[in-house]
Amino acid sequence: MTGDVAVLGAGMHPWGKWGRSFVEYGVTAARAALADAGLEWRDIGSVVGADTVRGGYPGYVAGATFAKALGWQGTRVTSVYAACASGAQAIATARAQILAGLADVVLVVGADAAPKGFFRPAGGDRPDDPDWLRFRVLGATNPTYFGLYARRRMAVHGDTLEDFAQVKVKNAALGARNAYARYRRAVTAEEVAASAVVADPLRLLDICATSDGGAALVLAGLDFARRHGAGDAVRIRAVSTVTPHFPNTVLDLPDIATDSAVAVSPAPETFRESIARAAYEEAGVGPEDLSLAEVYDLSTALELQWYEDLGLCGAGEAVKLLRDGSTAPGGRIPVNPSGGLASFGEAVPAQAIAQVCELTWQLRGAAGDRQIPGARVGMAVNQGLFGHGSAVVAVR
Amino acid sequence: MIAGWFTGDGEGFRLLGTRCSACSTVFFPREDTHCRNPHCPGGRLMEAPLSRRGHVWSYTDSRYRPPSPYVTDRELPWVPYTLIAVELAAERLVVLGQAAPGVTVADLTVGTEVEVVPGVLHEDAETTWTTWQWRPTGAGV
Ligand SMILES: [Zn+2]
């Protein structure tokens, strides 16, 4: 496969609320990924940073910030902002540079120190910013959108609060086995039910927290990998970064309304479905080939939606898949073996990179007591605010 | 803050979008520069009032005080409000809005008919910020 690049190294800083700078998390993750790859920072020909945003300023220019902290060495540098898809776009950029012959080996880094409580837009009056508008005009936080999606699934597919709770139970049990996760404790359905409602019908334990964290990858061309003695490394085979198609008829963060379908019939697939399909097509695999998937479980109900969007089952059948154990360890297609956002929380620019770290460890057979036996193909999928798609297919 | 998003009062209250003269696509919030339909050669965007009534696509509420730029009086205890996403059949789009005061999630189901009404988002000594709200039709709230 000419589109493949090798994952030589993966590293993370543990997620949590550590109260330190995002630079520290990113550098810790980067050094871990370099050590994992058996490479020195001086060997790196390009660094790609996934940006965070503070005060309307993207990440203090994250690629160069990480490069400075690691020690200026004249490397090619790129900074990428795509909201929650920033990490995937950083990986896509690194891959494109490798495939174009611009670099043999690239360091990809994402890290964040999340604000306390709800995510919110930067200050000032900015009525041309849809993210500012939804807060100012409606007070519509991220969890309220998750609540809308959850309530819609209950009405259309018959999902129940108990089903949602079981997603948390599954992911918390896995997160308890992951040293990088913020929450490392099993959770019961009763605890989910007893937690406070945040946005009807979702409770505190249905919704992911905000966290600090960092993740990094060392990617290389296959020739470099072979010369480096890593010819059998995990490979990234596809990175999907597609936008929605007009009209986007599913209400999306941060929008106040959908596109109108008066003039153009909606595509047969939703935006999230198209993100997955683009990755499958580029990788030449289908949902039946997956050994595991890491999905963006901003809420328990949203994880169920992803089962359908990934084609793991038909529309409305996600709960059946959950209930019969298909998406748990030992099932046909385990989902979020890392513990997911339920266990990590959101560290926005790091999360998509962290998902690929988990794919890498699983495909190497190095995921310890959360290992999915015989894992050969993994997908990580995510959706970034403002229409940024993000999916990665990795193979062994 | 959101000039030109709604007009009128009482029974005459309407959300205002824009409609493309070339392809008829409706935009809300209003789009005044370019039609966003990629198949459209580009037309003039003309102000268009939206349907008064629609059906609930989904709904939720906000049990915790949202952060700024949402304006609330932090001296007062937080009172949750309901949010409703409403499908407008003629325009074939979904519009999110707050529910009228007193409407809770217990009053709603997906598919419930609602109508748009004028409402107050927030007021202080100097300013009253008006907005649109959704209210179940035929409901006594
Ligand atoms: Zn048009």
Question: What mean pLDDT is predicted for residues A6-12?
Answer: 98
- In this structure, what token pair is assigned to residue A290? 């997956």
Question: What mean pLDDT is predicted for residues B36-55?
Answer: 97
Query: Other CB atoms closer than 10 Å to residue A250's CB: what's the count?
Result: 17
DSSP-assigned letter for residue B51: P
Reported as a single tens digit per residue, the pLDDT across A300-320 is 999 999 999 999 999 999 999
**Residue A122, pLDDT score:** 76
What percentage of chain A exceeds 70 in pLDDT?
98
Q: How far apart are CA A302 and CA A18, in angstroms?
A: 27
DSSP-assigned letter for residue A138: I
Interface of B with A in 53-82 (CB under 8 A): 57-64, 66-72, 81
Reply yes or no on whether the pLDDT at B96 is more than 80: yes
**Residue A124, pLDDT score:** 83
* Ligand 1 centroid distance, CA of B23 (Å): 4
Q: How far apart are CA A111 and CA B45, in angstroms?
A: 42
Cβ–Cβ gap A140/B83 under 8 Å: yes
Reported as a single tens digit per residue, the pLDDT across A19-73 is 999 999 999 999 999 999 999 999 999 999 999 877 666 667 799 999 999 999 9
**Residue B140, pLDDT score:** 47
**Residue A56, pLDDT score:** 60
The residue type found at B5 is W
Distances (CA, A) of B35 to A263, B25, B47, B88: 11, 8, 13, 20
* Average pLDDT score over chain A: 95
**Residue A58, pLDDT score:** 64
> How many residue pairs bridge chain A and chain B with CB atoms within 8 Å of each other?
151
Does the CB of B94 have a partner CB in chain A at under 8 Å? yes
Cβ–Cβ gap A257/B96 under 8 Å: yes
Residue A283 phi/psi, 5° resolution?
-85, -15
Q: Which of A171, A109, A163 is nearest to A328 (CA)?
A: A171
pTM higher than 0.90: yes
**Residue B139, pLDDT score:** 53
Question: Which range among A125-134, A264-273, A345-354, B51-60 shows the weakest confidence by mean pLDDT?
Answer: A125-134
Radius of gyration of chain A (CA): 20
SS3 A385: coil
Q: How far apart are CA A278 and CA A147, in angstroms?
A: 28
Reported as a single tens digit per residue, the pLDDT across A127-175 is 888 899 999 999 999 999 999 999 999 999 999 999 999 999 999 999 9
Contacts of B63 (CB under 8 A, 6+ apart): A196, A197, A198, A199, A200, B80
**Residue A55, pLDDT score:** 61
Percentages helix, strand, coil for chain B (3-state, rounded to 5) are 5, 45, 50
Reported as a single tens digit per residue, the pLDDT across A107-140 is 999 999 987 777 788 778 888 888 999 999 999 9
Question: What mean pLDDT is predicted for residues A252-268?
Answer: 96
Question: What mean pLDDT is predicted for residues A284-292?
Answer: 98
SS3 A189: helix
Contacts of A32 (CB under 8 A, 6+ apart): A9, A10, A11, A12, A13, A216
What percentage of chain B exceeds 70 in pLDDT?
97
Does the CB of A267 have a partner CB in chain B at under 8 Å? no
| Chain A residues within an 8 Å CB radius of B93 | 247, 249, 257-262
Question: Which range among A193-197, B50-54, B125-129 shows the weakest confidence by mean pLDDT?
Answer: B125-129
Helices (H) and strands (E) in chain A, counts: 13, 13
Measured between alpha carbons, how far apart are the two ends of chain B, in Å? 28
Cβ–Cβ gap A259/B36 under 8 Å: yes
* Ligand 1 centroid distance, CA of B3 (Å): 22
Residue B133 phi/psi, 5° resolution?
-140, 160
Determine which helix (DSSP H) or strand (DSSP E) holds A276, and give its type and residue range: helix A271-283
**Residue A52, pLDDT score:** 82
CA–CA min distance A187, chain B (Å):
23
Residues in chain B: 141
Reported as a single tens digit per residue, the pLDDT across A84-108 is 999 999 999 999 999 999 999 999 9
**Residue A53, pLDDT score:** 78
Reported as a single tens digit per residue, the pLDDT across A309-367 is 999 999 999 999 999 999 999 999 999 999 999 999 999 999 999 999 999 999 999 99
**Residue B141, pLDDT score:** 45
**Residue A9, pLDDT score:** 98
Burial A222-248 (b: 16+ CB within 10 A, else e): bebbeebebeebbbbbbbbbbebbbbb
| Chain B residues within an 8 Å CB radius of A261 | 92-93
**Strands, DSSP E only, in chain B?**
6-7, 14-20, 26-27, 45-49, 53-62, 81-88, 93-99, 113-123, 128-136
**Residue B3, pLDDT score:** 81
